[in-house]
Structure 1
């Protein structure tokens, strides 16, 4: 492959709304316009080889930001125009939108501009609005603000006619399938002001990608603030934000420029370069995710009207000469590159890999803080409910499994917060036909360690009597056999709650609610469901966090609970007394289901995208056929079991995803899953 190979279009490839963008710092020399143009061309080609479709380069990179009074020199201004014209001619067949920072003379003023170019066309000259004139910066000495321009200003420049010259230009893609690529450009200081132009471009024109050509001198502590600024603006605007900083080659007479390049999306920093390097930051940003965030956020209010001078500039990633051959491979210096993905990329053809456990922070410190916060949220919710109802007792079915263990730990904390005796917590073991000695023993030992009242109420005889009442053969171990035990347990808990004047605490978690893995009017029902907002993958970490916090024998019990297979224990144990009924063998791995759940509820992604994301994230763990099988199971159960979620008890929301029918998830119980299942079938 030649060093000049460029990623080309492939109109038939699947895309997941991912756009690859880059931010780079070329090595320049102050005033060496021709040499700087060559460095810029090298950056454009390098970005194209990496499959990037947008590239931001530093402010005034064609001349150097530190030219001083040379900005008024006519020779420098003319050289810039000639160099840009040559750059356009050299990039006709390169489908990358890129910026070139340069000074542009218009009328009686010179403007600090970013020339926005693509496929040989000069799309527009985005002008800087906020000119610093303090400390070491004197831009007002050389440049006029965009505010001085008449609205709708047009110029002939670099061999192109009728080029818009203004701030707040939004470059909107007209290529089929990439209409959501809407690129806004603001320059350096424009981001640092109270009301950045990018805010108007996002609100008025719907810009989803922001490019910032910048020259930010380096001082102690500035890098951290710069990153916070870029990430914060991307979070406020639900957009991708790429920032390119001036670096090597700028004058060091009074300042040093470190060339830090950043790419953020929705508040998260996706890529950055080290200080004092001339490297390229590269990332696949999720345009679809940005739009989903805007659509689901009621406080995002797009603004119309002409009160702000925003202008749309249509463009295509294909040059006019290549428009009739849009699927041909791109050419640079006469060489042809292999076909590559189209404008927007598939998750399978991406550098982006979603975390396998999106509900669980990867950082250990963050995980501990998250666990502590969630425990406090759960306990605070229960504490408030108990105080409001003047209830001084609680009843909980303690099976020795993960969910009931977490619910007991939360209840203990709530009672401690209320300064109520732990002996008013009634933990009840209700052994049935599938209860093993291991889980029953763990329940008893944990209750003893925590100092709560522990009772054993066997349900076997009552269930057998019930079988007689309804004429069910106990040898038939079907859903009736299983659910009769679950409902008997709930009846015991509810009646005991009346007896002691206490609340029945629900133990079911968010993952089980999504799958409908609960017996209707049994473990489905309680007086307050403390785990309702906690997915199974996070339940495991919460219990592990509690084990570390308690230490001693309590920690040993909790760790054995963690090692116990997840099971409702409704079918008799194996011959050696081990659990025979394992939930994940029946409904699938919870780490997969939690992955599906997060991306469906949090971002509304379609099945195909989630499948491809999961294939990347779980590569080497699950085969694609396995992922597809459980994805189909998830959608089938999620739709079919909505009726259980439509009448859930109250419970606290602890994260960004919840299935409460009173707020976060409102879905008819009889909605059809056909559309989603058809897309899954097409993936086979």
Structure 2
């Protein structure tokens, strides 16, 4: 596919790789050949930047041989060989070599691109404890700025003040540090990131001992989170001297604290672990994270001290695939252990929040409308757990099922079954007589013989339910518990004011629909309730989502929420990238297409029913994304501006005007719609 939409470079993604070549004990010619072989493989895979291990050309564990002239000259020859080979290769190469300058030997990272050395960065922190003796051979690069080094007949920028930036590919800006540098309390990459680098790289030797791989991953994750960057780490692998130590060849790629790729360790063959890092996402995160910019100011504005070495790279605007796993459900981890941890936290956040509100409001009861649908079900089980935690009887939860003109027998039965299973106080109020009277009073043409199913018909029912609940709360010294979720608030899929948009406390307002489904499954799986409750929860999960405000048609088909507003799986995907990351619609469409285009690709959460594992093509994604943008930006903000209190639950964001999201109620969606239409085929 040749349309620019399909190219990663159109969306701020940069393809990086951590390389693990077969090492040697000082055979620089073999090291150069191994480096070139992996560079060519990276070129074939469309990689933009390859990070090699520390001293991969010289060899690391050769001890005093570092101080031999023959070894130093052999290193220069190996560099020249790699530089020459790079002339016809696409990737920028970060290679390691020991170089002599002004009577000192430095452990260096060399940035090589298309036949030239862009710059040389010396290692700052030299380990000289336990098995390390680097100060015996090397000088530290600390304080060396604004300098050059003679290399290949040219003066090349040399110092710890270098970042490298592509002239023609925004976001492709990287910094290099070496091994011990990121074990230090003040890693050089912190200053590099504050100076503008979005990709921080570590060329490492790092021998392996028990537990060290976990330590490296922890440091890479921490640095990518703290410095708000991508972090590419490459450790030396098999072939280095094992006279005193051993090597595992760990390669890691992290982004904003999350590991997105890892190599095999102790591999017998050379390896290239590749991933596409999202530099637009990193930039957007820095825009939102004011502390990052404060840190740059407090550090004396490093960008004024760093030299920005520019190079030409030439973006590729064709489909090169995507080397990155995109979660179909961004609010829900794929990994079962992490998902259970997240569900535990989300559920208990809601329970704790509601418990505090009950105590603060001096409420004796909770009043809740129970429809038999997902949202009211989840709010009700949260309420039951809150009462348990406070030592109050569940009978203080007053559940009301309020059938209207289209309430199905199945959902009504589910509502009753759930209330009975949980042991709450349960009643039924038929709203149809009051709704019919209101419709007659306002002159609505509705009648059983000649129905008109318009928005007024629907909202009369939704409004009456809320009106009853508030008056019941007044009467019975309670609070009305809201059931609407974050997905509905994002879409404005709620009746404003005297309707399901309003409550005394909106316990689900920070939880998207897709997460609610997994939370209920988690409650079943972890025995939060008894078997009878679990059985009815499973039944509710299996039913179609419907507002049940309009009676079934002649064909018996129920009113379907998702047929009107789009699949919640897609809407939650869109919401995550709009609310949390502020990405352009074309970028969101690109990510959604890669996540959803094939039901057989990638990992699905294990507890997702097989019949829910479906695919969406690009036209479908584009269609529903445009609908989402209109609803989110143009038509529903006024509902969010007046939403009741409710806890933030997910790091993916919340929509309260007092919390994560502030926007004008009279905004328009033009910029987003035009970007989508002009950029997505």
- The whole-number CA distance in structure 2 between the counterparts of 1:509 and 1:563 is 18
Give the corresponding residue for 1:617: 595
Secondary structure in structure 2 of the residue aligned to 1:595? helix
Please, which of 109, 124, 137 is the counterpart of residue 129 of structure 1?
A: 124
- The whole-number CA distance in structure 2 between the counterparts of 1:309 and 1:73 is 38
RMSD: 2.1
Secondary structure in structure 2 of the residue aligned to 1:473? coil
- CA shift, 1:653, in A, is 0.6
Please, which of 184, 191, 208 is the counterpart of residue 175 of structure 2?
A: 184
Task: Tell whether the 8 Å contact from 1:119 to 1:317 is kept in structure 2 after alignment.
Answer: no
Q: Aligned runs of 1:143-158 on 2, under 5 Å?
A: 143-147=138-142, 149=144, 151-158=145-152
Secondary structure in structure 2 of the residue aligned to 1:185? strand
- CA shift, 1:483, in A, is 0.6
Give the corresponding residue for 1:561: 540
1:62 aligns with 2:37: no
Secondary structure in structure 2 of the residue aligned to 1:559? helix
Secondary structure in structure 1 of the residue aligned to 2:427? strand
1:262 aligns with 2:252: yes
- The whole-number CA distance in structure 1 between the counterparts of 2:103 and 2:391 is 76
1:164 aligns with 2:157: yes
Give the corresponding residue for 2:386: 414
Task: Tell whether the 8 Å contact from 1:123 to 1:313 is kept in structure 2 after alignment.
Answer: no
Offset from partner CA, 1:617-672 (integer Å, 9 cap, x none): 11131121111111111011112111111100101110121111112110101111
Secondary structure in structure 2 of the residue aligned to 1:650? coil
Give the corresponding residue for 2:31: 36
- CA shift, 1:575, in A, is 6.5
Please, which of 375, 397, 402 is the counterpart of residue 403 of structure 1?
A: 375
Task: Tell whether the 8 Å contact from 1:168 to 1:197 is kept in structure 2 after alignment.
Answer: no
- CA shift, 1:365, in A, is 2.6
- CA shift, 1:573, in A, is 3.5
- CA shift, 1:168, in A, is 3.8
- CA shift, 1:412, in A, is 1.2
Secondary structure in structure 2 of the residue aligned to 1:23? strand
Give the corresponding residue for 1:16: 11
Please, which of 483, 495, 500 is the counterpart of residue 523 of structure 1?
A: 500
Secondary structure in structure 2 of the residue aligned to 1:603? coil
Task: Tell whether the 8 Å contact from 2:577 to 2:588 is kept in structure 1 after alignment.
Answer: yes
Offset from partner CA, 1:442-472 (integer Å, 9 cap, x none): 1112111111111111011111111121111
Give the corresponding residue for 2:609: none
- CA shift, 1:246, in A, is 1.1
Q: Aligned runs of 1:507-546 on 2, under 5 Å?
A: 507-521=483-497, 522-546=499-523
1:370 aligns with 2:332: no
Offset from partner CA, 1:157-177 (integer Å, 9 cap, x none): 12222x1221242112222xx
Secondary structure in structure 2 of the residue aligned to 1:124? strand
- The whole-number CA distance in structure 2 between the counterparts of 1:582 and 1:573 is 10
Structure 1 range deviating more: 423-432 or 166-175: 166-175
- CA shift, 1:28, in A, is 2.9
Structure 1 runs (4+) greater than 6 angstroms displaced: 306-309
Task: Tell whether the 8 Å contact from 2:260 to 2:325 is kept in structure 1 after alignment.
Answer: no
- CA shift, 1:23, in A, is 1.1
- The whole-number CA distance in structure 1 between the counterparts of 2:360 and 2:412 is 33
Give the corresponding residue for 2:279: 287
- CA shift, 1:309, in A, is 9.2
Secondary structure in structure 2 of the residue aligned to 1:681? helix
Task: Tell whether the 8 Å contact from 1:402 to 1:561 is kept in structure 2 after alignment.
Answer: yes
Change (3 A) 1:310 1:113: farther
- CA shift, 1:46, in A, is 1.4
Give the corresponding residue for 1:472: 444
Give the corresponding residue for 2:316: 341
Please, which of 584, 595, 605 is the counterpart of residue 562 of structure 2?
A: 584
- Please list every run of 5 or more consecutive structure 2 residues that lacks an aligned counterpart in the other structure: 599-614
How many residues align structurally?
648
Q: Aligned runs of 1:108-257 on 2, under 5 Å?
A: 108-147=103-142, 149=144, 151-161=145-155, 163-175=156-168, 178-203=169-194, 205-257=195-247
Offset from partner CA, 1:98-156 (integer Å, 9 cap, x none): 1221111112211111111111111111000111111221110011111264x322121
- CA shift, 1:589, in A, is 0.6
1:495 aligns with 2:490: no
Task: Tell whether the 8 Å contact from 2:403 to 2:431 is kept in structure 1 after alignment.
Answer: yes
Please, which of 322, 331, 350 is the counterpart of residue 322 of structure 2?
A: 350
Give the corresponding residue for 1:596: 574
Task: Tell whether the 8 Å contact from 1:122 to 1:160 is kept in structure 2 after alignment.
Answer: no
Task: Tell whether the 8 Å contact from 2:12 to 2:170 is kept in structure 1 after alignment.
Answer: no
- CA shift, 1:225, in A, is 1.1
Task: Tell whether the 8 Å contact from 1:23 to 1:244 is kept in structure 2 after alignment.
Answer: yes
- Please list every run of 5 or more consecutive structure 1 residues that lacks an aligned counterpart in the other structure: 1-7, 319-325, 327-339
1:504 aligns with 2:480: yes
Give the corresponding residue for 1:447: 419
Task: Tell whether the 8 Å contact from 1:48 to 1:95 is kept in structure 2 after alignment.
Answer: yes
- CA shift, 1:492, in A, is 0.6
1:390 aligns with 2:362: yes
Give the corresponding residue for 2:292: 300
Q: Name the TM-score, length of structure 1 as normaliser.
A: 0.91
- CA shift, 1:310, in A, is 4.8
Give the corresponding residue for 1:626: 620
Please, which of 65, 76, 79 is the counterpart of residue 81 of structure 1?
A: 76
- The whole-number CA distance in structure 2 between the counterparts of 1:622 and 1:584 is 14
Change (3 A) 1:71 1:281: same
- The whole-number CA distance in structure 1 between the counterparts of 2:485 and 2:576 is 14
- CA shift, 1:306, in A, is 6.9
Give the corresponding residue for 2:96: 101
Secondary structure in structure 1 of the residue aligned to 2:250? coil
